[in-house]
């Protein structure tokens, strides 16, 4: 396995990112910060993960928000 010393997200699962962001902002807060329907229309962690795993641009926005939010 290749090491990624300069990648702050290395080893952090998308599910963990979503759980922390949801706990911190809630669905309304996430929808205000990232304008995607998976945070607006009947949002769940499971449905959001499914969408983010197949939508690279949305996942990138979520990862950027996670990095900006100091956990």
**What's the pLDDT score for residue 22?**
97
State CA 40 to chain mean position distance.
14
Decide if 9 is inside a domain.
Answer: no
Number of domains in the chain: 1
Length of the chain: 71
**What's the pLDDT score for residue 37?**
94
**What's this model's pTM, rounded to 2 decimal places?**
0.89
Is pLDDT of 2 > 70? no
pLDDT bucket at 1, cuts 50 / 70 / 90? low
Decide if 2 is inside a domain.
Answer: no
The range of the structural domain enclosing residue 34 comes to 14-68
Decide if 7 is inside a domain.
Answer: no
pLDDT digit string (tens) for 17-64? Answer: 999 999 999 999 999 999 999 999 999 999 999 999 999 999 999 999
CA distances from 63 to 12, 42, 53 (A): 10, 21, 12
Cβ-Cβ contacts under 8 Å for 7 (sequence gap 6 or more): none
Cα torsion 24, 36, 45, 66: sign = negative
State CA 49 to chain mean position distance.
8
CATH code of the domain containing 52:
1.10.720.30
């Amino acid at each position: 396995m290749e090491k990624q010393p300069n990648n702050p997200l290395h080893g952090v699962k998308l599910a963990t990112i979503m759980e922390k962001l949801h706990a911190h902002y809630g669905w309304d807060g996430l929808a205000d910060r990232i304008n995607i329907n998976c945070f607006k229309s009947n949002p769940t962690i499971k449905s959001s993960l499914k969408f983010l795993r197949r939508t690279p641009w949305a996942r990138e926005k979520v990862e950027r928000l996670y990095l900006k939010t100091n956990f």
